[in-house]
Each structure stands twice: as structure tokens, then as C-alpha cells.
Amino acid sequence: MRHFLILFLLITSVTSIAQSQRTELITIMAAPLSESYQYGINERADFEVSVFKYGKLVKNAAIEYSIGAEQMIPEIERSIVLKDGHGIIKGISLSQPGFIRLTVTHKDENAVFTNTATAGVDVDEIETFTKMPTDFNKFWNKAIIDARKIDLRPLLTRMPEKDTATKLAYHIRFNHGKKSFIYGILTVPKKEGKYPAILHVPGAGVRPYEGKDYNDDIVSLQIGIHGIPVNLYGSDIYENLKYGALYKYNLNRMDDRNRYYYKRVYTACIRAIDFIHTLEQFDGENIGVTGGSQGGALTIVTAALDHRVDAIAAYYPALADLEGFNNNRAGGWPRLNGRGFKFTEQKVKVSRYYDVVNFARLLDAPGYYGYGYNDNVCPATSVAAALNEIESHKEIRVAYNVAH
């Protein structure tokens, strides 16, 4: 059944990767000169650039470009004219594994168009800066034990408007803390029987959810993480919370490992697995987890902490290699490198209990992973650093021209 789950996750989650180049009046095409998008250490990465308008190359196209290590201060910033609308740009080299990013801008009348291209440098050799705390396992074992002291007391409310011909839909709630809940959307097959299950964990943000219903023979649970109902469609409550009480929730209490926001979130994912095990439609054995960005991080975390998970599909995981920017290299979302946030030594120590890299080191479930070289939110450097730590079976899909 594990192979079925991997295949199912692969097929149903592949749409998580989106195109970075939009269809616009002006199309800037940029790519490394290397057909493989790969270069070696100390090897100069060159790029080719073309500017199109209505599908034709723009004569004497004026462009501005910058080149540097991914999300670092550019080493090169220049303006040139592409006489035939196409040209080769000489890049830079790196003395250590990583990624080189080219950013190209072209103006047409009052409009500005931009695209990026990224080359990998010995990607499989990228190492993480994240250290494993000696009491990492002890900390999380206790956190899960404490979370399970609260009875789930699940509440399922029918959502007939979301039913399909073959599935029933529910808005669900279960206890997670004193006077605190986790909410989600559950779909189960109408046909009697026992079925495998998929847990869908969310990307960053504050929003309602519609549920995931890819397959007639799967129990599907999509959860939110903020302790608020996920079915308040049309309400402005999510927007109010996003810029109010939940503003920058990902940085909340980061100086205390026992009170950091994600402690409740990580344990909620384990409790969601517990909840699935209470369902009479679940076969009690076969379960997968999937998500992208923050959800990619939560996917890896859940499987690392709960060995009942059989397979995962994680896309461009966030919260990986968080110390990157402190070491002059791109670090994972939420990119702790300023922006009014001081990543103190105490916060660094706390972050190691939550950094996806340390969970990746514990994985034993097989997984399917995907990320884009042009990701402007979860840097490819941080994702590769985490994936390189995984020793369990892994299949990796790289989309060379895709952003977040």
C-alpha cells in the first residue's frame, strides 16, 4: 500500500508547483547557458536572455540585470542593450555549493517586466548550518505526550453543500489544548468500507479551506493551524486576524522553545493523525501526508515525529536551514535576516528545535519532493540543504524555471 500512497500523492500534488513566467505583453526568457542548469565550484555560470513582445524578439531591447548568490547582495549590476533581443550574459562563480541567481528587468513604456533564472552549483553537496540539539527527541516526545493528555473530543458537522456523488463532507473540530481547538475539512467515501487516508497540511497564512477531494477511495483531511473555524466563507475575519492577532505569527515567542508558535502547530499535526485513527472509514493502517511551503515543512515534521505515516509528498518546504542568512547564505522562510527582526543567539537556539532540517534527519517514510530553482519565498538553497539530509527513500522533482 505504501507504493500506492506514493503514487497517489505524486499525481494529486504535482499541481503544487506553479509557473513563474506569466503570459504578458512582454516575455523575458532567461536560463543558465548550461543545459543541465548545473555548474561546478569555481566554474562561471553564464546565462542567456531573450526579450519577446507579441511573440517576437524585441530589437535593441534595453535590460538591467543583477547576478549574485541566491538572495544575497548582487556581485554584478549592469545595464545593456540586446541588439537582436537575445544575448549571453557572463555570470559569476561560487567557491562553495549553492545557487546563482540572475534577475532581468525590461521596461516597455510605463510598464516594468522582470524575470529570474537560477543555476545550481554542486547542489547535492549543499550542507546545512543547522545543528541538532542533544535533547531534540526528548523535547518532542514530551511535547506529544503532553498534547495527548487532552482528550480529542472530535466534533463533526455535516457540510452537504460540499458533498460529491461519492463523498461526504464535514467541518471538523478536535481539542488541542485547554479551551483550544484545531479545525478542518474532512471528506470520506459514501461507500461502506475501510480506506487509506491523506492528511493535507496548510501553507502559511490565515484563510478558509475548501477541503481536498481527489479520489473516491481516500479519506481526506485538510486542517488549519490557528484554532479558528475554516469554513467562514465570505467573512473578513481571516483578513482581520492576518493583520491583527496573527500578524507575523511565525515569529511569535521565538525566544522560548516551549512557547514558540509552532510548538502547538507541530503537535496539532500529530493530533490530526490521531483524529484520523478515530474514523470508522479509515483502514487503520495506510496514511500519507502532503503540503507545500509551510505545508511542506509540516509534512516532513509530521512524518518524522509519527511513524504511523507511510509516505509523504512535500513541496518547497519552508522553515529549513533557518540560520542561513546568519552565515551569508540564503536561509529558509521566514527568512530571519532583518526586516525588523533580530535573530538573536537565543532565537537561534530555539529555532533548532523547529528547523525542518533536524526533522529531515529523522525521516524513515519514503517521500516525493519538489521545488523550483527560482523560488523567491523558500530559497532553493535552504530546500536543497534539507533534502540532502534525508536518508530514507526519496524522489525529487526540480522545476528549473519555477518560483513559489
What is the residue-wise DSSP string for 147-214? HTTS----EEEE-GGG--SSEEEEEEEEE-STT-EEEEEEEEESSSS-EEEEEE---SS---------
* Residue 190 CB burial class (10 angstroms; 0-12, 13-18, ≥19): middle
CATH 3.40.50.1820 range(s) for the chain read: 2-18+127-399
Q: 335 near 322, Cβ under 8 Å?
A: no
pLDDT for 240 = 97
The fold adopted by the segment(s) 26-122 is Immunoglobulin-like (2.60.40)
pLDDT for 19 = 42
Pairing mode, if any, of strands 181-189 and 219-223? antiparallel
Q: What is d(CA 57, CA 174) in angstroms, rounded to the nearest whole number?
A: 57
Q: Residue 131: helix, strand or coil by DSSP? A: coil
Q: What is d(CA 77, CA 66) in angstroms, rounded to the nearest whole number?
A: 4
Measure CA of the first residue to CA of the last residue in the chain; give whole Å: 31
CATH of domain 2-18+127-399: 3.40.50.1820
Q: Name the stretches of the chain with pLDDT < 50.
A: 10, 15, 18-21
pLDDT for 178 = 85
pLDDT for 13 = 53
Q: What is d(CA 316, CA 16) in angstroms, rounded to the nearest whole number?
A: 9
113-139 exposure pattern, b = at least 16 Cβ within 10 A, e = fewer: bebbbbbbbebeebebbbebeeebeee
CATH 2.60.40.2550 range(s) for the chain read: 26-122
Residue 41 grid cell: 565550484
pLDDT for 21 = 45
Q: 121 near 45, Cβ under 8 Å?
A: yes
